[in-house]
Amino acid sequence: MSSALSPPHTAPLGYETGRLKRSLAFMQNPLRGFKPEVYQSGLTQHKSFMMNMWVLTDPSGVSDVLVKKSSSFRKSNLNQRIIEPVSKEGLITTHSKQWKRQRKALAPIFRPRHMDTLSESISDVISDFLSNLDCNSHRSIDLKTAMSDLSFDMLAKTLLGDAKQASDRHLRQAANTAIETCGTLRLSDFLPLLSRLPRPLSPKALTAIKVLKDGARQVLKSQHERGDKSNLVALLAQQGHQQLPLNEQVDNLTGFFIAGHETTAIAMTWALYLIAQHDDTQTRIREELLSVSPSQVTYKNLSNMPFTKAVFYEAMRLFPSIPIIGREVIDDVEILGQSFKKGETVIIPIYVMHRSERFWPQANQFDPDRFMRRPELMSTKNSYYLPFGAGHRVCIGAAFAMMESLLLIANLLHNFEIELKDKNIIKPIVTISLRPDKPIWLTYKKIKNNVRCVQKENVVV
Ligand code: HEM
């Protein structure tokens, strides 16, 4: 293992590339299709055969779009096309009064005071995950698949509260299929006329969405009947009873699965990928963990782990789970002295901003200490660090995602040393999120006897 390994970067195509080649590259992996000047300039116009859009990376322009002049924008048409089949009446896709009413009803569920209670279920899921690792005689895992299963389990247990439903393979399969099928970009998404029509979906995708929605409806019904208050759905049912109609509760539940499952899995995957390559980082995290707790790390310990938190922030800088956010102009507006016309699209490429030397010295290097030296960089008011977005549509699940990810990293490293099995260069590619382009195999060695292999039926790690 070498500390000198710098994280892979998907660089844009060169200046000499023709329009058609760039447009096709954009479609296959938008990170390659941006012009190289996007890394240096705050506002560029991207015109091609298929698209015409503003690409904005200037922090004050970004702050105008997401915060100060946000009423002149709405979520982009592409966002709507992807998410609407799964969550048309939920927080992610609604606008104006409907969105405002829902955000007000749902925000209290994700407040820090609930995190302590929810963290107990998260810790249970992590304990099971660690004991399954211990049972796996191969001592290696496909990181993305393992994190995807784990993040599903964490969300299912805290959202649904019911262990039986949480382990329901149909629901897991349906969530994965919905993300895979709806989240893959298509040519029609970039053709001006076709992109205004609803996206046709395969029978497989439609069945998966039906399974998810039926599951959500059933879970909400049983929560109403039981009056349980220990999980997110119970809180949703309780809050929503007064404020949200049933169809909005259902769509928010499916929306949380879509918005919260893949994003968290990806963030944990890239963080562990980076940690596994840096012995010094692994040692420092472990020293910090030992100073806060000799055994299991709990939610209460997290506030005393600044370095572990800085590592996770640095991982989200290099590999933001949502690498691009888009908005559509709904009222003519001036941004950075430039007139943006109604109907135009604005892209904020978070990945590009996070890798730009304008804001980050040695931008492509893994250096968690940049967040230790300048903790203010983590603030959501900083508009060039945007892993959770910004403004009134900032991620509602950010505190929840931080809790899940930090508890996993801490408890995994408390018990195991991790290493990459091979030295394959893994590149990030954009689908609905920033995925690794090939499987990342992680090997691990037990260093403590805190976790013990507990054999369970049908458990596959
Ligand atoms: C590391 C994990 C996560 C990342 C990186 C992430 C990132 C983001 C980003 C960038 C946005 C803003 C999108 C935009 O402005 O267009 C967003 C919105 C949202 N996220 Fe997350 N997210 C994560 C986890 C979660 C979780 C765990 C949940 C729920 C359980 C969740 C629920 C939502 C919802 C509902 C929205 C829409 C909020 C609104 O428009 O009012 N996210 N997320």
Please tell me whether residue 46 adopts helix, strand or coil conformation. strand
Which residue of 263, 316, 353 sits with most ligand 1 atoms within 8 Å of its CB, as the best mutation to test the pocket? 263
CATH of the domain at 295: 1.10.630.10
Question: For 51-60, 164-173, 267-276, 289-298, which range has the lowest pLDDT when averaged over its residues?
Answer: 164-173
For residue 380, what are the domain limits? 19-446
pLDDT one-digit tens code per residue, 303-314:
999 999 999 999
Cβ of residue 161 lying under 6 Å from some atom of ligand 1: no
Q: Is residue 323 part of a domain?
A: yes
Q: Is residue 461 part of a domain?
A: no
Q: Is residue 184 part of a domain?
A: yes
Cross-strand bridge partners of residue 393: none
The Cα–Cα gap between 375 and 135 comes to 39
Share of the chain above pLDDT 70, in %: 89
Q: Is residue 42 part of a domain?
A: yes
Cβ of residue 323 lying under 6 Å from some atom of ligand 1: no
Q: Provide the whole-model pTM.
A: 0.92
pLDDT one-digit tens code per residue, 55-85:
999 999 999 999 999 999 999 888 888 888 8
Q: Is residue 11 part of a domain?
A: no
Q: Is residue 154 part of a domain?
A: yes
Cβ of residue 321 lying under 6 Å from some atom of ligand 1: yes
C-alpha of residue 394 to centroid of ligand 1, in Å: 7
Q: Is residue 409 part of a domain?
A: yes
C-alpha of residue 418 to centroid of ligand 1, in Å: 29
Tokens 């909400």 belong to which residue?
Answer: 220
The residue ranking higher by pLDDT, 455 or 437, is: 437
Q: Is residue 339 part of a domain?
A: yes
Count Cβ neighbours within 10 Å for each residue of 62-82 and write b for 16 or more, e otherwise. bbbbbbebbebbbbbbbbbbb
Cβ of residue 215 lying under 6 Å from some atom of ligand 1: no
Which residue of 65, 89, 328, 395 sits with most ligand 1 atoms within 8 Å of its CB, as the best mutation to test the pocket? 395
Handedness of CA 257, 260, 265, 266 (dihedral sign): positive
Domain count along the chain: 1
